Structure 1
Amino acid sequence: MSLDVLLGLTAVANRRAVPRASQCHVHLARRPFVVVGYHVPGDPGSPLGILCGDRRDQPRVIAAGEPRDYDERWRTLTEFALNLNGYLGRYAMPSAPSRRQGRSPARARPVIPQLVVPNADTAQWLCQELGLLLRYLQPERDPRISPALPVAGAHLSFFDQQRVPGASLVLAMTEVLAQHWKTGQLPSMDSNLASQLAWIRRPDTILEAENALPAGPVPDPEWERKTYTRSTKVFNQLRSVAGRPGDAVREASNTVWEALEPAWKAVWESLDAVNELPEAEHVAERAGGDEMQWHRHAERVRGNRAYFRRRPRQLQVFRYLNRLERLTGNLDRQMALDDPQIMARHVASGDALSGTVVKVLPEGTGRQGRRQPRPIVHIRPDLPFARPLGTHLWFHCAVETSRAGNPVRPSVELEITGHDADGIVELTVVSNAIKREHHRRLPLPDTRQVFAPFEPPTFRPDAIPDVLPWTHREPEED
């Protein structure tokens, strides 16, 4: 039985979500920009209503009284674009911090904009579908199109590209909560923010939350048939009466507010729940990469060079997949090293070795005629460990100071060289602790240690093959 299955059964038995992590593994901005919205089913470019803003108690209510009216549609999108561009403009610094220059103590915490939405569907609607629609608009050809719309489309398309493992520029709260808590419901039901949050914060309201109005982006058909249809009729009647356009707008705003207010509060409550966890060690490092990506994009926007291809080239796809693979591996490694509760899942699956150090032989016997003897470590595993001989594991040591005065965390590479009848595992040092001056990095006897399968990160240039794989090549023409 995997540890995730055990946590799920425990959550069902206790009728309450069980923590999957003991630390927060996402960067939380001080003032995120929260967006909750609905759009017309089948028409992502026609929003019914949007709540947005960076203040919990002062959301901006944007309502389309008649979404089938193109003038009303562009007015709604323009109002949202102005709010989004105004928020992002606060973070558009003239120059980006250089990786080589380092980071001053005054700016130790990265400062990045952050788009927070209830679920992954809303993130896809805003960043991918709405960004694709807005970024190609040409205001000079249509007076109804505001110049703010293509700028907002460029920003949303950038956020869509940054929805990669470890990035914190866009947070879908259902994904963030699932990363840190295990509920007793099916994974597909975790896409409902209300029920997922109820498992974590208010277990006595789980059944009520499951029947709540979904948090967008496509509205509930029953709500649309009963509530929004009536509101549209009232809006059109009030708009046709001279001197009452303000009443029409208030009617539409009240309808949108009543529908989206629960999701708005749920997003902020989810942020509070995640913020209660201590921040993991590598979070700031990943957020620093997000900061560099954002400033590069902001510079392209200032120079009117924020171009996006409708269909990426084969080389771009190849590099993107390589980037996803690299970021996924880095995120798994960093989360496991930062969080003992996540490392426990790797131990339970048999990928990592956890146990008590029985003895350490700093002057081990040489192997295959090598002159330099290699230290040997004997481990009594906490769980049966059956990885084959020759498997490499890494022991991550305490932080040291390099010759340049910078803090570093060396990793000792070991190889499984034996299993005895009592279950003792023999590990032979391969690198980073062979010399006598580095023997201090070896684990001490009678201590419990973890040997992980995560290789330390190394810089690898973007190696492009001479011939792209067949999956990335266009079909040859006859």
Structure 2
Amino acid sequence: MSTLTALARAQALVAGRAQPIATVRHLHVQDHPLVLIPLAMAGEANAPLAAMVGASHKAPRLLVVTQPRDRDLRFAFFAELAEELLPYLESFATESEDVPIDRGKDVRQRYLDAPQIWVPNPGGIDFLRMLGRSTRFRTVDGEYPVPIGVPLLGRWLTFLAGTAEIPGSSLLLNAVQALGLHWATGQSATEDAQFGTQLAWIESGAAEAREAENGPVAGPATDPEFDNKVLAPLIERSAPELPDVLRELLLPTWDRMWRTLDLLRGLPAGERVSLRWDSDRDAYTAFAQYIAEGGAPQPRRDGAVAAAARLQRLENAASRYAVQRAFDDPLVLAEYRLSGAAFAGVVTLANPNRVDDSGKRPVLRPRIMVHTTEPVRMEPGTSLTSPSRTAQKARVVSVTPAGDGVDVLLELSGGMGRKLVAEPGSVPEVGERLILTTLSEAFRPGGAFPEPAETPWTHGGPPAPPADVTAAPEAAASGEADQ
């Protein structure tokens, strides 16, 4: 937990109301999202009990497995779920746009929009991941055939669960983490995992949150008391009222999900949210086309090279997401100011037309002086960036104590045009307030990985050569024979 989040939690406890920890929304909210609330049977590995699903608040559909241990009923449930999800997922693979690539020399296609699925909590994402894993390899013929939509559903769920691991992706989201990204409650992070209490802290306050603690759970796990006293007897006698009981159990969470979407839509979107959604649309386009071309199911596990490449992509995405959130949101950037990775100050001197002619050819290198009262822990030579001028780099020349703070002399490069005279407004003027940080959105090239066939046999490459077994020396053999 960060310092400012801890402070916000303390303030929320005192005020009895959740406190904002973001000034903008850091995720994309689709105009027509689909809400899915899965429910699993306790004591059974990923055995579905029910699901409430729909793309409209007023029209939820309830799917129920009356006997979760019955394989046929479970796959009938998967088929019904596929009937709901697949048309929604495929409905966005229609209109596309041209996206320039290779510096405008070529174009590629990208769908204009992409689907977005919401579940209540991280457990819902894990449930969908396991559901995809258990269905994507099923066949529609043979000894144990399944409905045609079941393996296709499994591939889509595996794809969506994979995107949920990418920081900043918005194709598959859960309400608990989305709310925790923007508000801090007066309870612990563990208590925030209870969707009802977390939302109550934000909407109404601590008193209502206490009442919500005793309300129905948001799945996929059920409440043990409910299992023992209500659910088990109904399943045991195949009671016809089971769907009505489960509907009553899930409807409060259904309403909370749509209220969560309204809360998030009330926040202005961060400037870079649309860029991340473009990446999501790219991923959706690629996978939809892969499916349309008859692509095979995803492998059970990645090979060594694929796993390493995926790990690097996740690390780069996490770093990029952290920088983008900080540049979009002053409250997030404040954390870096506290840790010494950023500081704010006022420009006191500026030489916008300074030219450095010490090299082979003269280059424009303006200098500015920034006075700040915040601690500056950057050494001379450190490269800084301002969120308001991300294309421009500022190299620290010197840090000098001055009055109640320090004067930081900076040399600028980039973002000022191609001439030896800076374009108007490209160099900070005297009196302008700047925030400078070591964070950067600079492109990070991917690593060079070998082809799978070129890796050692321990990592999936060619098998090891057979051991070279040689005969014992003749002298030794003779000695053994003499004995």
TM-score, normalization: structure 1? 0.86
Aligned runs of 1:227-238 on 2, under 5 Å?
227-235=230-238
- The equivalent residue for 1:121 is 123
Q: Which runs of 5+ in 2 are unaligned?
A: 468-483
Residue 367 of structure 1 deviates from its aligned partner by 11
Structure with the bigger RCO (C-alpha within 8 Å, sep 6+) is 1
The answer as to 2:376 corresponding to 1:420 is no
Residues 108 and 199 from structure 1, CA distance in 2 versus in 1: closer, same or farther, beyond 3 angstroms?
A: farther
The answer as to 2:288 corresponding to 1:307 is no
Residue 452 of structure 1 deviates from its aligned partner by 2.2
- The equivalent residue for 2:380 is 389
Percent identity for Structure 1 against Structure 2: 27
**Tell me, what secondary structure is at the counterpart of 1:420?**
strand
**Is the CA contact (8 Å cut-off) linking 2:367 and 2:412 kept in structure 1?**
no
**Is the CA contact (8 Å cut-off) linking 1:364 and 1:374 kept in structure 2?**
yes
**Tell me, what secondary structure is at the counterpart of 2:408?**
strand
Residues 372 and 32 from structure 1, CA distance in 2 versus in 1: closer, same or farther, beyond 3 angstroms?
A: closer
**Is the CA contact (8 Å cut-off) linking 1:352 and 1:452 kept in structure 2?**
yes
- The equivalent residue for 2:51 is 50
**Tell me, what secondary structure is at the counterpart of 2:25?**
coil
Residue 462 of structure 1 deviates from its aligned partner by 5.0
Residue 212 of structure 1 deviates from its aligned partner by 2.3
- The equivalent residue for 1:340 is 330
Residue 427 of structure 1 deviates from its aligned partner by 3.0
Superposed CA offset, 1:214-257 (max 9, x none): 21111111111111113224425xxxxxxxxxxx2xx1210111
Aligned runs of 1:454-473 on 2, under 5 Å?
454-458=439-443, 460-461=445-446, 463-464=448-449, 473=459
**Tell me, what secondary structure is at the counterpart of 2:177?**
helix
1:210 is matched with which residue: 199, 213, 222?
A: 213
The answer as to 2:276 corresponding to 1:275 is no
**Tell me, what secondary structure is at the counterpart of 1:360?**
strand
Residues 196 and 142 from structure 1, CA distance in 2 versus in 1: closer, same or farther, beyond 3 angstroms?
A: farther
**Tell me, what secondary structure is at the counterpart of 1:418?**
strand
Q: Which runs of 5+ in 1 are unaligned?
A: 237-247, 399-408
- The equivalent residue for 2:81 is 80
- The equivalent residue for 1:153 is 154
Which residue identity is paired with 2:449? I
- The equivalent residue for 1:172 is 174
**Is the CA contact (8 Å cut-off) linking 2:21 and 2:182 kept in structure 1?**
yes
1:292 is matched with which residue: 270, 279, 282?
A: 282
Residue 473 of structure 1 deviates from its aligned partner by 4.4
**Tell me, what secondary structure is at the counterpart of 1:228?**
helix
Which residue identity is paired with 1:445? V
Pairwise CA RMSD of aligned residues? Answer: 3.0
Indicate the larger mover: 370-379 or 436-445. 370-379
Indicate the larger mover: 416-425 or 307-316. 416-425
The answer as to 2:442 corresponding to 1:451 is no
Which residue identity is paired with 1:165? P
Superposed CA offset, 1:314-348 (max 9, x none): 11111111111111122112222222222222222
Residues 280 and 396 from structure 1, CA distance in 2 versus in 1: closer, same or farther, beyond 3 angstroms?
A: closer
Which residue identity is paired with 1:125? F
Structure 2 CA distance for aligned equivalents of residues 373 and 39 of structure 1? 64
Residues 110 and 333 from structure 1, CA distance in 2 versus in 1: closer, same or farther, beyond 3 angstroms?
A: farther
Residue 118 of structure 1 deviates from its aligned partner by 0.2
Residues 373 and 131 from structure 1, CA distance in 2 versus in 1: closer, same or farther, beyond 3 angstroms?
A: closer
Residue 11 of structure 1 deviates from its aligned partner by 1.2
Structure 2 CA distance for aligned equivalents of residues 323 and 373 of structure 1? 36
Residues 447 and 473 from structure 1, CA distance in 2 versus in 1: closer, same or farther, beyond 3 angstroms?
A: same
Structure 1 CA distance for aligned equivalents of residues 243 and 283 of structure 2? 36
Indicate the larger mover: 409-418 or 174-183. 409-418
Structure 1 CA distance for aligned equivalents of residues 446 and 236 of structure 2? 60
**Is the CA contact (8 Å cut-off) linking 1:333 and 1:454 kept in structure 2?**
yes
Structure 2 CA distance for aligned equivalents of residues 108 and 75 of structure 1? 34
Residue 351 of structure 1 deviates from its aligned partner by 1.0
Which residue identity is paired with 2:251? E
Structure 1 CA distance for aligned equivalents of residues 363 and 149 of structure 2? 67
Structure 2 CA distance for aligned equivalents of residues 224 and 311 of structure 1? 34
**Is the CA contact (8 Å cut-off) linking 2:137 and 2:297 kept in structure 1?**
no
1:352 is matched with which residue: 318, 339, 342?
A: 342
Residue 366 of structure 1 deviates from its aligned partner by 6.5
- The equivalent residue for 1:26 is 27
Structure 2 CA distance for aligned equivalents of residues 301 and 344 of structure 1? 44
Residue 201 of structure 1 deviates from its aligned partner by 0.4
**Is the CA contact (8 Å cut-off) linking 1:416 and 1:428 kept in structure 2?**
yes
Residues 337 and 108 from structure 1, CA distance in 2 versus in 1: closer, same or farther, beyond 3 angstroms?
A: farther
- The equivalent residue for 1:68 is 69
